[in-house]
């Protein structure tokens, strides 16, 4: 049985891209076959970690896995099929391990770890936890504005990190490769160049505003729409709303994670809602119309005579809008008998007489028809006492 991918990498389910990459790099360094020759167990764990990373680093595959688990992936690292290494599945994979292994199994698979083109670095993804009311989660919200602290491209140098009139130069130590060869015993390793920090170039005259970083800290407004039907833990991806990249690298994404407040009237199960509803027992006995408050207004439910106390009524399309697909879920009304905690003297007398009547023991001196007239308001029956 396959282990959970998050468990394999030792990360929480809401881990961002940086945390995911860091966890995988650590495992890959420990378990790589070049460091564990002949260790089959380590090799299998290495493959398991690579499989987990290939799925969780892909936004679409991760979304399917989060919803359906291994069964939803089919042949893409799930469904019981044997995982196979495919270099094309590992976008930016060399950024993680390329600088650590120059040959062996990794070198055969990934070309020994190529440097990033022109030293570009993609900006980090960000996460914002947003609390929503139950109403806004069900119906959505057209305009939400957040103030996000993030790193943005420096206006002075336009993200280059260079003083006006200058440009980056090729690193003389690594000659633009971004990495240098180092031998450690039997291992031939490639490590990031210490002069240019693996970029292949350096900035001779850094920008005075950003000190060569190419980015500055700033709070920015981000507006978006909350779709109807989001639930607690739902992640909304806002592309290119994360941090700016360095030296021309792409911008990261902003993930908004929703924390939906509960509603005392409803329990939510996906797109379905459940509500416990107390009903006076005479209505269950005689049947009739019951008014019910739903998220969309008042609705009437017709109860048949003799409805059981634990009956469940299903109101179709009265639940939460489905994020994936069309329509809404259903509202399930779980009926419960409303037992009064206090009764007037007359009410107690009537209930007692009904109990005796149902047990076949009508009150002494009172005709059955007259008693039923009192209980159910019928014109048929005997005279009231004292008349």
Tokens of 316: 């179709």
- The CATH H-level (homologous superfamily) assignment of domain 267-338 is Urease metallochaperone UreE, N-terminal domain (2.60.260.20)
pLDDT digits (tens, 9 = 90+) for 165-210: 998 899 888 888 888 887 766 667 788 888 887 888 888 999 999 9
pLDDT digits (tens, 9 = 90+) for 240-290: 999 999 877 889 999 999 999 999 999 999 999 999 999 998 899 999 999
pLDDT at 95: 43
Tokens of 210: 């950003």
pLDDT at 64: 82
The yes-or-no answer to whether 1-114 and 267-338 have a common fold is no
Find the helix packing angle between 345-358 and 368-376, rounded to 10°: 130
Rounded to whole angstroms, how far apart are CA atoms 178 and 170? 10
| Strand-strand pairing, 126-132 and 179-184 | unpaired
Q: What's the rounded mean pLDDT across residues 319-343?
A: 91
Domain made up of 121-168+203-261: CATH architecture: Sandwich (2.60)
Rounded to whole angstroms, how far apart are CA atoms 167 and 244? 19
The neighbour count for residue 50, using CB atoms within 10 Å, is 23
Residue 316, pLDDT > 90, answer yes
**Rg over CA atoms, the chain:** 34
Residue 375, pLDDT > 80, answer no
Residue 109, pLDDT > 60, answer no
Q: What CATH fold (topology level) applies to the domain 1-114?
A: Helix Hairpins (1.10.287)
Confidence of residue 364 (pLDDT cuts 50, 70, 90): low
Residues of the chain above pLDDT 70, percent: 79
pLDDT at 367: 53
Q: What's the rounded mean pLDDT across residues 51-57?
A: 89
Q: Indicate the domain borders of the chain.
A: 1-114, 121-168+203-261, 267-338, 345-376
Tell me how many degrees the CA angle 172-178-184 measures, rounded to the nearest 5.
100
pLDDT at 334: 96
pLDDT at 148: 94
Going from the C-alpha of 353 to that of each of 285, 339, 361, 368, the distances in angstroms are 16, 17, 9, 10
DSSP 317-376: T-SPBPSSSSSB--EEEEEEEE--S---HHHHHHHHHHHHHHTT-PPTT--HHHHHHHHH
Stretch among 68-72, 205-209, 335-339 having the lowest mean pLDDT: 68-72
pLDDT digits (tens, 9 = 90+) for 122-162: 899 999 999 999 999 999 999 999 999 999 999 999 888 99
């Amino acid at each position: 049985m396959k282990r959970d991918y998050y468990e394999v990498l030792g990360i929480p389910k809401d881990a961002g891209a940086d945390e995911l990459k860091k966890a995988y790099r650590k495992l890959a360094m420990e378990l790589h076959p070049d460091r564990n020759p002949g260790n089959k167990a380590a090799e299998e764990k290495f493959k398991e970690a690579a499989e987990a990373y290939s799925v969780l680093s892909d936004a679409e595959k991760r979304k399917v896995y989060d919803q359906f688990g291994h069964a939803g992936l089919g042949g893409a690292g799930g469904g019981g099929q044997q995982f196979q290494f495919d270099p094309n599945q590992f976008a930016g994979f060399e950024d993680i391990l390329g600088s650590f292994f120059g040959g062996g199994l990794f070198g055969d698979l990934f070309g020994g770890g190529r440097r990033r083109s022109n030293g570009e670095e993609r900006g980090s993804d960000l996460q914002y936890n947003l609390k929503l009311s139950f109403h806004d989660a069900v119906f959505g919200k057209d305009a939400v504005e957040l103030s996000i602290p993030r790193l943005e491209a420096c206006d002075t140098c336009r993200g280059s990190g260079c003083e006006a009139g200058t440009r980056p130069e090729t690193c003389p130590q690594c000659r633009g490769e971004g990495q240098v060869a180092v031998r450690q015993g039997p291992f031939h390793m490639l490590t990031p160049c210490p002069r240019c920090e693996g970029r292949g170039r350096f900035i001779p005259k850094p920008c005075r505003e950003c000190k060569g970083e190419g980015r500055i800290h700033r709070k920015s407004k981000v507006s978006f729409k909350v779709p109807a039907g989001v639930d607690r833990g739902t992640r909304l991806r806002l592309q290119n709303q994360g941090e700016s990249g360095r030296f021309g690298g792409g911008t990261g994404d902003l993930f908004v994670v929703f924390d939906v407040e509960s509603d005392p009237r409803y329990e939510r199960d996906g797109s379905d809602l459940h509500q416990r509803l107390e009903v006076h027992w005479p209505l269950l006995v005689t049947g009739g119309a019951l008014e019910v408050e739903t998220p969309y207004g008042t609705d009437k439910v017709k109860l048949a005579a003799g409805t059981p106390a634990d009956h469940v009524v299903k109101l179709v399309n009265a639940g939460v809008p489905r994020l994936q697909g069309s329509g809404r879920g259903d509202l399930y009304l779980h009926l419960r008998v409303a037992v009064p905690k206090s009764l007037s003297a007359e009410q107690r007398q009537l209930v007692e007489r009904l109990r005796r009547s149902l047990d076949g023991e009508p009150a002494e001196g009172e005709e059955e028809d007259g008693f039923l007239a009192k209980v159910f308001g019928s014109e048929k029956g005997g005279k009231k006492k004292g008349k």
